[in-house]
Amino acid sequence: MVFPYGEFAINEEGKLADRSAFLRAWVKTGSIDIIPPLRELFENIDQSYDALLWYQCELDSYIYSHQRHLHALTKISEALKLKGEICEYQKDYYRAFRSYTLAIKINPHLDIQKIWTGSPAICIPI
Protein backbone atom coordinates (compact mmCIF):
# COMPACT_ATOMS: atom_id res chain seq x y z
CA MET A 1 0.00 0.00 0.00
CA VAL A 2 1.29 3.46 -0.89
CA PHE A 3 0.31 6.60 0.99
CA PRO A 4 0.45 10.13 -0.47
CA TYR A 5 2.86 12.47 1.29
CA GLY A 6 2.83 15.90 -0.29
CA GLU A 7 3.83 15.45 -3.91
CA PHE A 8 5.47 12.11 -3.19
CA ALA A 9 4.21 8.73 -2.06
CA ILE A 10 5.60 6.68 0.82
CA ASN A 11 5.19 2.96 1.36
CA GLU A 12 4.22 1.13 4.55
CA GLU A 13 7.82 1.18 5.78
CA GLY A 14 7.87 4.98 5.61
CA LYS A 15 10.25 5.09 2.64
CA LEU A 16 9.70 6.94 -0.61
CA ALA A 17 8.03 4.83 -3.26
CA ASP A 18 9.89 6.62 -6.06
CA ARG A 19 13.19 7.96 -4.74
CA SER A 20 14.28 9.04 -8.20
CA ALA A 21 11.38 11.51 -8.52
CA PHE A 22 12.18 12.92 -5.08
CA LEU A 23 15.87 13.39 -5.91
CA ARG A 24 15.07 15.02 -9.27
CA ALA A 25 12.67 17.42 -7.52
CA TRP A 26 15.41 18.24 -5.00
CA VAL A 27 17.80 19.09 -7.84
CA LYS A 28 15.16 21.23 -9.55
CA THR A 29 14.89 23.45 -6.44
CA GLY A 30 18.31 24.87 -7.35
CA SER A 31 19.39 24.97 -3.73
CA ILE A 32 23.02 25.34 -2.66
CA ASP A 33 23.30 21.61 -2.03
CA ILE A 34 22.28 19.68 -5.15
CA ILE A 35 25.44 17.57 -5.21
CA PRO A 36 24.20 14.73 -2.91
CA PRO A 37 21.02 14.01 -4.91
CA LEU A 38 22.88 14.20 -8.23
CA ARG A 39 25.59 11.88 -6.91
CA GLU A 40 23.00 9.37 -5.68
CA LEU A 41 21.12 9.49 -8.98
CA PHE A 42 24.35 8.98 -10.94
CA GLU A 43 25.88 6.26 -8.77
CA ASN A 44 22.83 4.25 -7.70
CA ILE A 45 19.77 4.92 -9.83
CA ASP A 46 20.10 6.00 -13.46
CA GLN A 47 23.09 6.01 -15.80
CA SER A 48 21.21 6.20 -19.08
CA TYR A 49 22.43 8.54 -21.79
CA ASP A 50 19.57 11.02 -21.29
CA ALA A 51 20.06 11.01 -17.52
CA LEU A 52 23.79 11.69 -17.87
CA LEU A 53 23.07 14.66 -20.15
CA TRP A 54 20.52 15.97 -17.65
CA TYR A 55 23.04 15.65 -14.78
CA GLN A 56 25.67 17.56 -16.75
CA CYS A 57 23.18 20.26 -17.71
CA GLU A 58 22.12 20.69 -14.07
CA LEU A 59 25.75 20.78 -12.91
CA ASP A 60 26.66 23.39 -15.55
CA SER A 61 23.68 25.52 -14.54
CA TYR A 62 24.59 25.16 -10.86
CA ILE A 63 28.23 26.10 -11.44
CA TYR A 64 27.27 29.12 -13.56
CA SER A 65 24.71 30.44 -11.09
CA HIS A 66 26.97 30.05 -8.03
CA GLN A 67 30.36 31.07 -9.43
CA ARG A 68 30.07 34.65 -8.15
CA HIS A 69 29.54 33.56 -4.56
CA LEU A 70 32.74 33.03 -2.62
CA HIS A 71 31.04 30.82 -0.03
CA ALA A 72 30.02 28.39 -2.79
CA LEU A 73 33.55 27.59 -4.02
CA THR A 74 33.72 24.33 -2.07
CA LYS A 75 30.41 23.22 -3.55
CA ILE A 76 31.52 24.27 -7.03
CA SER A 77 34.67 22.14 -6.71
CA GLU A 78 32.49 19.18 -5.64
CA ALA A 79 30.21 19.82 -8.63
CA LEU A 80 33.22 19.86 -10.96
CA LYS A 81 34.47 16.61 -9.44
CA LEU A 82 31.08 14.96 -10.03
CA LYS A 83 31.01 16.35 -13.57
CA GLY A 84 34.45 14.83 -14.13
CA GLU A 85 33.23 11.46 -12.87
CA ILE A 86 30.25 11.61 -15.23
CA CYS A 87 32.49 12.56 -18.18
CA GLU A 88 34.88 9.76 -17.25
CA TYR A 89 31.97 7.29 -17.15
CA GLN A 90 31.04 8.46 -20.67
CA LYS A 91 34.68 7.92 -21.73
CA ASP A 92 35.09 11.66 -22.42
CA TYR A 93 38.49 11.77 -20.77
CA TYR A 94 39.45 15.23 -22.02
CA ARG A 95 36.42 16.91 -20.42
CA ALA A 96 36.88 14.78 -17.30
CA PHE A 97 40.49 15.93 -17.00
CA ARG A 98 39.47 19.58 -17.48
CA SER A 99 36.77 19.28 -14.81
CA TYR A 100 39.13 17.58 -12.36
CA THR A 101 41.89 20.13 -13.01
CA LEU A 102 39.61 23.10 -12.37
CA ALA A 103 38.17 21.41 -9.27
CA ILE A 104 41.69 20.96 -7.86
CA LYS A 105 42.60 24.58 -8.67
CA ILE A 106 39.58 25.74 -6.67
CA ASN A 107 40.13 23.28 -3.82
CA PRO A 108 43.62 21.70 -3.70
CA HIS A 109 42.52 19.37 -0.89
CA LEU A 110 39.79 17.74 -2.97
CA ASP A 111 40.02 13.96 -2.95
CA ILE A 112 40.45 12.83 -6.55
CA GLN A 113 42.21 9.50 -6.59
CA LYS A 114 43.12 8.99 -10.22
CA ILE A 115 42.17 9.91 -13.73
CA TRP A 116 41.91 7.15 -16.29
CA THR A 117 43.75 7.66 -19.56
CA GLY A 118 41.53 5.33 -21.55
CA SER A 119 43.17 2.06 -20.64
CA PRO A 120 42.18 0.36 -17.38
CA ALA A 121 45.80 -0.64 -16.82
CA ILE A 122 47.20 2.88 -17.10
CA CYS A 123 46.19 5.69 -14.77
CA ILE A 124 47.63 9.00 -13.69
CA PRO A 125 47.72 9.43 -9.90
CA ILE A 126 47.06 12.94 -8.68
- Tens digits of per-residue pLDDT, 32-49? 677 888 888 888 877 888
C-alpha to C-alpha distance for 121 and 117, rounded to whole angstroms: 9
Per-residue DSSP letter, 107: -
Residue 93 is assigned to a structural domain of this protein: yes
Residue 5 is assigned to a structural domain of this protein: no
Q: Determine the pLDDT at residue 35.
A: 82
Which runs of consecutive H residues, i.e. helices, occur in the chain? 19-28, 35-40, 49-66, 73-89, 93-106
pTM of the model: 0.67
Residue 8 is assigned to a structural domain of this protein: no
Q: What pLDDT digit, counting tens, does each position of 90-101 carry?
A: 899 999 999 999
C-alpha to C-alpha distance for 67 and 80, rounded to whole angstroms: 12
Q: Determine the pLDDT at residue 9.
A: 61
Check pLDDT > 70 for residue 28: yes
| Residue closest to 26 by CA, chosen among 16, 15, 12, 36 | 36
Domain enclosing residue 69, as ranges: 33-125
Residue 15 is assigned to a structural domain of this protein: no
Total structural domains within the chain: 1
Domain with 110 in it: what CATH number?
1.25.40
